[in-house]
Amino acid sequence: MTGTLGGSLAILAVPLLPLLAAVVLVLARTGHGGDRRATGRGLRSRWVGGVAMTLSTAAAVATVWWRPEVEVPWIPALGVRLHLGVDGISAPLLLMTSVVATLAVVLPSTSDRPAGGVDPMIGAGRYRACLLLVAAASATALLSRDAVVFVIALQVTLVPLWWLVQRYGSPAEDADRGGAATRFLLTSVVGTGLTLLGVLALVVTRGTADLDVLAQGVSGVDDAQTAVAAVLLLGLAVSVPVWPLHSWLPWVHATAPTAATILLASVLMPLGGYGMIRLVVGPLPDGLSALAPLLAAAAVVGIVWAGLTCVVERDLGRLIAWAAVATMGMVVLAIAAGGETGLQAALLGLTAHGVVAALLAVVVGALVDRWGSADLRAPRAAVRETAPRLGWGLTLGVAALVGVPGLAVFWADLSALLAAWDPTDGRTAGWFRFFAVLALVGAVLLAAFGVRVLREVWAGDRVEPRISDAGRVEAAAIVLLGLALLVLGVLPSLVLDLSAVDVARLLGGAP
Amino acid sequence: MIATYDLGVMLPVIAPLLAAFLCLAVDLIRPVPPVAHLGIAAVGILGGLVAALLGLGETRGAFCVDGGGCLAVVGPVDAGLQVLVLLGAGAVLALAAAQWPQVAPDRAPVLAVLMLIATAGAVALPAARDVGSWWVGLLLATLPMVGLVALAPREVPATRSRTDRRGGEIAEALIAATPVLASFALLALAGALWYLATGTALMTGEAVFGARGAGTESLLAASVVLGIAGAAVPLVLTPFHGWGPLIQRAAPGPVVAHLSTVSVLAGLGALLVPVRALIEAGAITAAPPTQLHVLGLLAVLSMTAGNLMALRQREPMPLLAWLVVAQSGWLVLPLAAVTPSSSAAAVGYALVLVVALSVAFACVLGVRSTRPAVAHAPGTALGEHVGLVRRRPTLGLPLAFALLTLAGLPPAIAGLSAKILVLAPVAGASMWWVGLVAVANLALGLVVALRWIFVLARPGDDVVPAEPDTGDRADDTEDLPAPDGDDTTVAIPATSREAAASSTTSTPSAPEPPTHRTYLAVAWIGTAVLLVTSVAPGLLFSLLG
């Protein structure tokens, strides 16, 4: 179907529909009125955004099925083209991010209901416009077959996300919110800036920005390749995030509004891992080889570090963020170990992590919203008793996160550990086995985290203060994401088969 | 000795000079209203612009010697830079038009002539291919600065006496004269060394080869370094930047805009002359790119110093002045790695820079022209800009977009593309230390822009009650050095952030005075250019062939 009009329309619709909806929502911001009209606006923005995102998701499915491609020159001076297409590596992530972003847009948010003296309706439209912009940009990043466009798309996500945290973050102190937002923006700008620098070095020396051509790799170890790989990994490690560049995440994660947390954890963090696969694994195999032990060490330290923090952290939002650092550490370990097993594990891990993170963000967001704070020390009613639907979601999410067999993350963690135990050629097997053992220790710590969360939040006899259970949309989101976890857990081959050919080609391209 | 003249190639230079001559002649014959001189100047710049646009995309030489090179060559990149200079001069003229009624009739022709001569010099510099044209171009471009600073009308508090004012003007003119002389002295030395090293006054790739053949490469290197230093003065590059913010604080708005756009471009033109020779020499041998570490150092120093100092500023004009220092660093960044694409990258960046700076100056001057009382009130940082996006979106929105462009963050993709353009040669040549500092400055520059954008977007009614500063500004001044000096600050009541959300319901306490049309025109034409180039960055760079 390559080149047909229908296919081109489908692939263009994936990023353009959310973009269009965002523009509509921003421009439609006229008039202002009482609460009822305000609620109406909130609903309307949900409808506009939800329809656009659903259609965009449908277009993403069609794109993955038919694999159309669109190519337009964009910045001829640099040989940069708007070349959109999808392959086995981006397909699972594209589907996952589309679904998750749709949920993020339709979830009810605090900006929908009038509260706290803020006229919420200024918010609703622009709030969803920001979410849609992030969705459009991340879809572009995943679809782009051009390295420079990938980085530009990554940068486009930053300002809307910053605005979301800054303006609609949890009702904490202004300064706290501003601090989290500004920290996010500055670290991310440095991260994407480093990525840009590395990509430009790659593009200028190789004379092309085409990811397919770049992925053929170059032969021979030279210091320049290692330097470029170092800059790229450093930049992408900020957005993944890899220890010790993770420190921005817990604060931002806990402060951002639920939908922004979903986009951050399920869309942006996987994009960082995807960037590592696309920009480093394929184009710079020798550079990665040289840096792999260092990268793996950082990842493993991150896993243990986050695992230890998870045992003592008192803020539920931050707790989930630390768990995300640990999961992403596993993904990065797999990328560093390399080989088909490693890459497949990384891709599966990114997809599964996206789903789990979204599920937990929905549940935790709902809980924190009802509790009024995320502090675990405050006495609360057991979620099991008062909000069984949320309780189910929480149990499922936590179980998946700690790697219970039959749920998606289990396969990803298992194959990551296997890949680290038997790393690809050019990696020091001894070191990687040591890392695998450490990662296992981290996984055990994470299990302790799971037990702790369930004990403190889910179990118990207290029924006061009562909280309301999940609403319809929230419940639907929990069911959908839970199903996805189960399906991926039972049939991980869905993702693995989709990506196998292209992963083999990515690695085979390197001489 | 000269075989052909080809004056047509020099038309972009000749047109402003002719207009300058016309201004003086008209004034000699019979006095005309000041606005006539403005018209003549506009026609001269427009004529030059048309001539430069016609020359785009081809390489033409003028004053060619038999068997030797030409004294002036206009390639596609040079023509692009000429177009930019003339566009910048046009914007400056438009900004000056709003203040032209305040010009004393006897000064009008002088000011017009000075502006035209400076423009002609800046247009001539990119074409210069020999030491003589280099010197003359730089002098023409910079010397009028002294007169402009001294003679242009300014908003002087009525309390100051006439003699006071005169004294201030003389002092400023003296300050302006220093960099002009220093710049020329450095360039004179550089030219002399060039002649000594290469045995020719032509500044071309062949001349560089001559020096290599004669074993005088160290002399050539000294000449290039001195040339860089000389050009760094009008470029306001650290550590040659001291005069910039000093003058820009005092000088009238349009003159500051001139110094920040036309004069900076003149510096770029002057810098390109020796660098282009090195590029030509490199292209012939196909050797790995020469790395001008000195220039890289100046670039990253300027970015860092400019951004850090901009963070401390509490008034728009000095802030813009420091922003220019930082942006000049970005402007010369690609030239640190001498590759065939370097000069085009610098000129591409200059395009975005000049448009964004013109927009910013138009907005700042537009705000200042209608709010003189607030402009000079001590108080909140950038106080006259509080809530501008809501109060006066016609000025606030372009200013915010221009600032984002200068910071290089999407949605202003034009700015990001420009940053990509200048980073590419450096990254390609593996000059990591320059690249890494530049990336850090992306974040620093963003803080500078955000701090201002926060103020623009902040809720604010027309009249803000004066009370001690509270934590309300925490988000825009956080992590910034505490501003020194001021005793009273104007703050927004703590609840007004919320009120802001619904500020569409509140009515401003007083109607805004209308903004002069030319400010709006410059701001919105520039914003339109930035928006179009954000969607299609290819357009931006197709100008350069």
Q: Cβ neighbours of residue B325 under 8 Å, at least 6 residues apart? A: B236, B237, B238, B241, B244, B245, B302, B305, B306, B309
> Rounded to a whole number, what is the largest CA-CA distance in chain B?
78
Q: DSSP letters of A306-350?
A: HHHHHHH--BHHHHHHHHHHHHHHHHHHHHHH-HHHHHHHHHHHH
Chain B residue with CA closest to A75: the answer is: B538
The CA distance from B13 to B82, in Å, is 9
Q: Which helix (H) or strand (E) holds B4?
A: strand B2-4
Burial of B157 (0-12, 13-18, 19+ CB in 10 A): exposed
Please report the pLDDT score of residue B155 as a whole number.
Answer: 60
| Cα first-last separation, chain B | 33
Residues 497-516 of B with CB under 8 A from A: 497-498, 501-502, 504-505
- Tell me the angle at which helices A248-255 and A174-206 cross, rounded to the nearest 10 degrees: 130
Residue contact B428–A204, C-beta within 8 A: yes
Q: Which residues contact A60 (CB under 8 A, 6 or more apart)?
A: A14, A94, A95, A98, A139
Question: Which of B417, B440, B446 lies nearest to residue A75, judging by beta carbons?
Answer: B417
Is the peptide bond prior to A241 cis by the omega test (within 30 degrees of 0)?
yes
Show pLDDT as tens, one digit a residue, over chain B (545 residues).
567 777 778 889 999 999 999 988 988 888 788 888 888 999 999 999 998 888 777 788 888 877 677 888 888 888 889 999 999 999 999 988 888 887 777 788 888 999 999 999 999 999 888 898 899 999 999 888 888 887 777 665 545 555 666 677 777 777 778 888 888 999 999 999 988 888 888 888 888 887 777 777 888 888 889 999 999 988 888 888 878 787 777 778 888 899 899 999 999 999 999 998 888 887 666 666 677 888 889 999 999 999 999 888 888 888 888 999 999 999 999 998 888 888 888 998 999 999 999 999 999 888 887 765 444 444 556 777 777 877 788 888 899 999 999 998 888 888 888 898 899 888 888 888 999 999 999 999 998 898 888 888 776 554 443 333 333 333 333 333 333 333 333 333 433 443 343 333 334 445 556 667 888 888 888 888 888 888 887 776 666 65
Q: Which two tokens stand for residue A99?
A: 């679904």
CA of B37 vs chain A CAs: smallest distance (Å): 41
How would you class A222 by CB atoms within 10 Å of its CB: exposed for 0-12, middle for 13-18, buried for 19 or more? exposed
- pLDDT at site B333: 92
Contacts of A239 (CB under 8 A, 6+ apart): A154, A188, A191, A192, A268, A269, A271, A272, A275
Query: Nearest residue on chain A to B448, judged by CA atoms?
Result: A186
Question: Is the minimum CB–CB distance between B532 and chain A shorter than 8 Å?
Answer: no
Sequence-ordered alpha helix ranges (H) in B55-161: 76-99, 108-124, 131-142, 144-151
Q: Is A190 close to B450, i.e. CB distance below 8 A?
A: no
Which positions of chain A have pLDDT values less than 70? 1-3, 29-43, 110-123, 171-175, 217-222, 463, 509-511
Whether ipTM exceeds 0.90 = no
Backbone angles phi, psi at B238, to 5 degrees: -65, 140
So what's the pLDDT on residue A135? 92
Considering only CB atoms, which chain B residues are within 8 Å of A178? 474-475, 478
**pLDDT tens-digit profile of A160-182?**
888 888 877 776 666 677 778 88
Q: Which of B409, B473, B127, B431 is nearest to B295 (CA)?
A: B431
Shortest CA distance from B289: residue in chain A: A205
Provide the shortest C-alpha distance from residue A469 to chain B (in Å): 30
Rounded CA-CA distance B421/B540 in Å is 11
Q: What angle do CA B289, B294, B300 make, to 5 degrees?
A: 100
Å between B139 CA and nearest CA of chain A: 34
Task: Indicate yes or no: CB of B442 within 8 angstroms of CB of A75.
Answer: no
Query: What tokens does A283 get?
Result: 């184009």
Task: Please answer whether residues B260 and B356 qualify as being in contact, where contact means their C-beta atoms are separated by less than 8 angstroms.
Answer: no
- Is residue B71 helix, strand or coil? strand
Q: CB burial class (10 A; 0-12, 13-18, 19+) of residue A472?
A: exposed
Nearest to B443 among A178, A190, A198 (CB): A190
From its phi and psi, is residue B407 left (phi > 0), alpha (psi between -120 and 50) or beta? Answer: alpha
Contact flag B425-A224 (C-beta cutoff 8 Å): no
- Residue A470 per-residue DSSP state: -
Residues in chain B: 545
For residue A106, what is the enclosing H or E element? Answer: helix A90-106
CB contacts of B447 in chain A (<8 Å) are: 182, 186
Max CA pair span of chain A: 68
Can you give the pLDDT at residue B514?
A: 67
Name residues whose C-beta falls within 8 Å of residue A501's C-beta, 6 or more positions apart in sequence.
A88
* Chain B interface disruption, residue of A133, A182, A199, A205, most B CBs within 10 A: A182
Please name the residues in contact with A40: beta carbons below 8 A apart, sequence gap of 6 or more: none
State whether residue B87 sits within 8 Å of chain A by CB. no
d(CA A268, CA A245): 15
Which residues make Cβ contacts (< 8 Å) with residue B352, sequence separation at least 6?
B405, B414, B415, B417, B418, B530, B533, B540
